[in-house]
Amino acid sequence: MVIPGEAPFISASSDGFSPTDSACRILLVDDDVALRTTLPHVLAQPGRSFDQCGNVQEAIARLESQHYELILLDYRLPDGTGLDVLDWLAGAKRDEAVVMISGEDAIDAAIGALRRGADDFVRKPYHVAQLQRAVQNALHKALLERANLAMSQRLKGSERLHRYLVESSPDFIFTLNTGGQFTYVNPRVETMLGYPRQYLIGKSLAQLTVHEDIGRVDTMMHEAINGSRSNQSVELRLRRRDPGSGKPGSSAIPVALNVVPIQGRNPNGPGEVPVGIYGVARDISDRKRAEEIITFQAYHDQLTHLPNRILFKDRLELAIAQAQRRGGLLAVMFIDVDRFKLVNDTSGHSEGDRLLRAIAQRIRDTLRKGDTLARLGGDEFTVLLPDIAHEHDAEIIARKIHAALEAPFELKHGSFRTTVSIGISVFPRDGEVAEMLTQHADIAMYQIKRGGKNGYCFFQPDLNQHHQERITLEHELRGALERNEFALLYQPQVSLSQRRVVGMEALLRWQHPKLGLVTPDTFIQVAEEIGLIGEISRWVVDTATAQLAQWRKAGFDKLRLSVNLSSHDFDRDETIARVQNRIEEHRLSNDCFDVEITESVMMRDTDEVVARVQRLRECGVGISIDDFGTGYSALAYLQKFPVSSLKIDRSFVSDLDGPAATPIISAITGIARGFSLHLVVEGVEHAEQAERLRRLGCDVMQGHYFSAAISAHEAERWLREPAALIH
Local confidence band at 632 (pLDDT 50, 70, 90 cut-offs): low
- Domain-located, residue 99: yes
- Domain-located, residue 496: yes
Q: Concatenated DSSP letters for 100-166?
A: EEE----HHHHHHHHHTT-SEEEESS--HHHHHHHHHHHHHHHHHHHHHHHHHHHHHHHHHHHHHHH
- Domain-located, residue 526: no
- Domain-located, residue 516: no
Amino acid at 424: I
Q: Which has more pLDDT, 10 or 342? A: 342
User: Across residues 229-243, what is the average pLDDT?
Assistant: 87
pLDDT greater than 90 at residue 167: no
Tell me, yes or no, whether 582 and 698 share the same domain. yes
DSSP 658: S
pLDDT digits (tens, 9 = 90+) for 452-473: 788 999 988 776 666 677 778 8
pLDDT digits (tens, 9 = 90+) for 646-684: 888 888 888 776 666 678 888 888 888 888 889 999 999
Tell me, yes or no, whether 259 and 309 share the same domain. no
User: Across residues 289-314, what is the average pLDDT?
Assistant: 92
Amino acid at 221: M
| Local structure of 523: helix, strand or coil | helix
Backbone torsions φ then ψ of 361, nearest 5 degrees = -65, -40
State which of 150, 178, 207 marks the end of a domain. 150
Distances from the Cα of 271 to the Cα of 26, 265, 266, 267, angstroms: 48, 7, 6, 9
CATH number for 95: 3.40.50.2300
pLDDT digits (tens, 9 = 90+) for 148-157: 878 878 887 7
* Long-range contacts (CB closer than 8 Å, 24 or more residues apart) made by 426-431: 426/329, 426/330, 426/331, 426/332, 426/388, 426/391, 426/394, 426/458, 426/459, 427/320, 427/323, 427/329, 427/330, 427/331, 427/332, 428/323, 428/324, 428/329, 429/391, 430/459
Task: Tally Cβ neighbours within 10 Å of residue 519.
Answer: 13
- Domain-located, residue 473: no
Distances from the Cα of 406 to the Cα of 120, 264, 346, 400, 454, angstroms: 110, 77, 21, 10, 11
pLDDT at position 13, please? 37
Tell me, yes or no, whether 281 and 310 share the same domain. no
Tell me, yes or no, whether 327 and 229 share the same domain. no
Local confidence band at 419 (pLDDT 50, 70, 90 cut-offs): very high
pLDDT at position 403, please? 94
- Number of structural domains found in the chain: 4
Q: 84-98, 395-409, 647-661: lowest mean pLDDT where?
A: 647-661
Tell me, yes or no, whether 334 and 455 share the same domain. yes
- For residue 428, whether the previous peptide bond is cis, meaning omega lies within 30 degrees of 0, is yes
CATH number for 375: 3.30.70.270
pLDDT greater than 80 at residue 701: yes
Tell me, yes or no, whether 283 and 304 share the same domain. no
User: Across residues 349-358, what is the average pLDDT?
Assistant: 91
Please list, in sequence order, all residues whose beta carbon lies within 8 angstroms of the beta carbon of residue 61, skipping any fewer than 6 positions away: 53
Q: 185-199, 256-270, 287-301, 706-720: lowest mean pLDDT where?
A: 256-270
Q: 49-63, 327-341, 636-650: lowest mean pLDDT where?
A: 636-650
Tell me, yes or no, whether 184 and 115 share the same domain. no
pLDDT greater than 50 at residue 21: no
State which of 225, 259, 289 marks the end of a domain. 289
Pairwise CA distance, residues 191 & 196, whole Å: 9
Tell me, yes or no, whether 353 and 455 share the same domain. yes
Strand pairing category for 500-512 and 560-564: parallel
- Domain-located, residue 482: no
Pairwise CA distance, residues 306 & 300, whole Å: 5
- Contact yes or no for 40/50 (Cβ under 8 A): yes
Closest residue by Cα to residue 231 from 264, 262, 265, 271: 262
Please list, in sequence order, all residues whose beta carbon lies within 8 angstroms of the beta carbon of residue 214, skipping any fewer than 6 positions away: 206
CATH number for 252: 3.30.450.20
| Local structure of 327: helix, strand or coil | coil
User: Across residues 100-113, what is the average pLDDT?
Assistant: 81
pLDDT at position 634, please? 54
pLDDT at position 331, please? 96
Tell me, yes or no, whether 101 and 198 share the same domain. no
pLDDT digits (tens, 9 = 90+) for 584-608: 999 887 779 999 887 777 766 567 7
Task: Tally Cβ neighbours within 10 Å of residue 486.
Answer: 17
pLDDT at position 388, please? 92
pLDDT at position 703, please? 93
Predicted TM-score (pTM) of the model is: 0.52
Please list, in sequence order, all residues whose beta carbon lies within 8 angstroms of the beta carbon of residue 104, skipping any fewer than 6 positions away: 75, 76, 110, 123
User: Across residues 181-195, what is the average pLDDT?
Assistant: 92
CB-side neighbour CA atoms (13 Å) of 626: 16
- Domain-located, residue 17: yes
Local confidence band at 7 (pLDDT 50, 70, 90 cut-offs): very low
| Local structure of 314: helix, strand or coil | helix
pLDDT at position 148, please? 81
- Domain-located, residue 670: yes
**In this prediction, what percent of the chain has a pLDDT beyond 90?**
44
pLDDT at position 722, please? 66
State which of 150, 184, 200 marks the end of a domain. 150
Tell me, yes or no, whether 706 and 606 share the same domain. yes
CATH number for 718: 3.20.20.450
Domain that holds residue 608: 492-506+533-725
| Local structure of 290: helix, strand or coil | helix
Backbone torsions φ then ψ of 107, nearest 5 degrees = -70, -20
pLDDT greater than 90 at residue 348: no
- Contact yes or no for 495/699 (Cβ under 8 A): yes
Q: Which has more pLDDT, 529 or 436? A: 436
pLDDT at position 616, please? 86
Q: 60-69, 256-265, 502-511, 651-660: lowest mean pLDDT where?
A: 651-660
Annotate 464-532 with three-state secondary structure.
Answer: HHHHHHHHHHHHHHHCCCCCCCEEEEEEEEEECCCCEEEEEEEEEEEEECCCEEECHHHHHHHHHHHCC
pLDDT digits (tens, 9 = 90+) for 531-560: 888 899 999 999 999 999 999 999 998 899
pLDDT greater than 50 at residue 18: no
Tell me, yes or no, whether 108 and 251 share the same domain. no
pLDDT digits (tens, 9 = 90+) for 27-46: 999 988 888 888 998 899 89
Q: Which has more pLDDT, 18 or 718? A: 718
Average pLDDT in the chain: 86
Q: Which has more pLDDT, 652 or 309? A: 309
Which range scores top for mean pLDDT: 246-250, 312-316, 554-558, 668-672? 312-316
Local confidence band at 11 (pLDDT 50, 70, 90 cut-offs): very low
pLDDT digits (tens, 9 = 90+) for 604-626: 656 777 888 888 888 888 888 88
Q: 8-17, 45-54, 664-673: lowest mean pLDDT where?
A: 8-17
Amino acid at 387: D
Ramachandran category for residue 20: left, alpha or beta (phi over 0 → left; psi -120 to 50 → alpha): alpha
Tell me, yes or no, whether 112 and 22 share the same domain. yes
